[in-house]
Amino acid sequence: MEEQRSREVLVVLPAYNEEENIGELLSQIRYALEEDSKINYKVFVVNDGSRDKTQAIAEEMAKTMPIEVLVHEVNLGLGATIRDGLYRAVQYSSKNDIIITMDADATHNPGLILRLIRMIIEGHDVVIASRFQSGARVIGLVWYRQLLSYTASIIFRLTYPIKGVRDYTCGYRAIRADVLKTAMSEYGDRFVDQDGFQCLVDILLKLRRRKLLFGETPLILRYDQKGGMSKMNVGRTIKNTLILIVKRFFVK
């Protein structure tokens, strides 16, 4: 029987015009997973048609740490970028690997990866870095964006409750690789079929149908450290999320 390699942590980074953030973020990931904790890992940077130096910086960093850069020649949006990153990570993965998704804009601290990993090893299938757990903090985000996230949390907890989940829209997550592999086999190309930020919610709604153990850990969200402009169109995100809520009642 073929010997299985040691567990790896596979980090998926969707990136669009992140030249101000991507280099420092990758360095922090390296410190958290390599220098500090000696964890086997690989980073999949999905460059979504960036018009700046995002790809060049990622490729330069790949000379000194395990990075694979996937390239969209034009900007396809977060849905397609998350999709391609997750499918590549699953394709690369072994059964016991852990897949992490996080933002590339410096708002998600890589130090929290260690806690996400620990919770998966302790028995969770999916772990979310949550803004709605005791100890969480949101720094530098305008009040109406915080209100939008809080409102979305209430709506989804009422319409699609998931035991252990309060934050449906945060993209900083850890998922067991075999869980994703099974879900992708079941859904095929439909597993990630939303274009915008609502794809993060839709992934949870699809995993919700399975008998999985979900958990959360407090997130310190640092918008004050973010370089560059936000990529989110708030009005479009609200509209598409409301459409998704209705759609998932009829299309599973």
- For 110, the domain range is 9-250
Across 104-125, average pLDDT: 96
Give me the chain's average pLDDT, please.
Answer: 89
- Over 80: is that where the pLDDT of 242 sits? no
In a domain, 118, yes or no: yes
Whole-prediction pTM: 0.90
**Is 38 or 4 the better-scoring residue by pLDDT?**
38
Strands 173-176 and 98-101: antiparallel
- Over 80: is that where the pLDDT of 237 sits? no
Among 96-105, 203-212, 233-242, the range of highest mean pLDDT: 96-105
Total residue count of the chain as it appears in this document:
252
In a domain, 171, yes or no: yes
In a domain, 121, yes or no: yes
Which tens digits make up the pLDDT trace of 212-221? Answer: 999 999 999 9
Residues 6+ apart with CB under 8 A from 20: 106, 227, 228
Domains held by the chain: number: 1
pLDDT for res 37: 74
In a domain, 110, yes or no: yes
Which tens digits make up the pLDDT trace of 16-25? Answer: 999 999 999 9
pLDDT for res 166: 95
Give the CATH number, domain containing residue 15: 3.90.550.10
In a domain, 149, yes or no: yes
Q: Copy the structure tokens of residue 213.
A: 């153990």
**Is 158 or 244 the better-scoring residue by pLDDT?**
158
CB 165 within 8 A of CB 203: no
- Binning pLDDT at 50, 70 and 90, where does residue 1 land? very low
pLDDT for res 134: 95
Percentage of the residues of the chain whose pLDDT score is greater than 90: 69
Which tens digits make up the pLDDT trace of 179-209? Answer: 999 999 999 988 998 877 788 989 999 999 8
In a domain, 238, yes or no: yes
Which tens digits make up the pLDDT trace of 45-79? Answer: 999 999 999 999 999 999 999 999 999 999 999 99
Q: Shortest CA distance to 87 belongs to which of 167, 215, 244, 203?
A: 203
Percentage of the residues of the chain whose pLDDT score is greater than 70: 88
pLDDT for res 98: 98
In a domain, 3, yes or no: no
In a domain, 4, yes or no: no
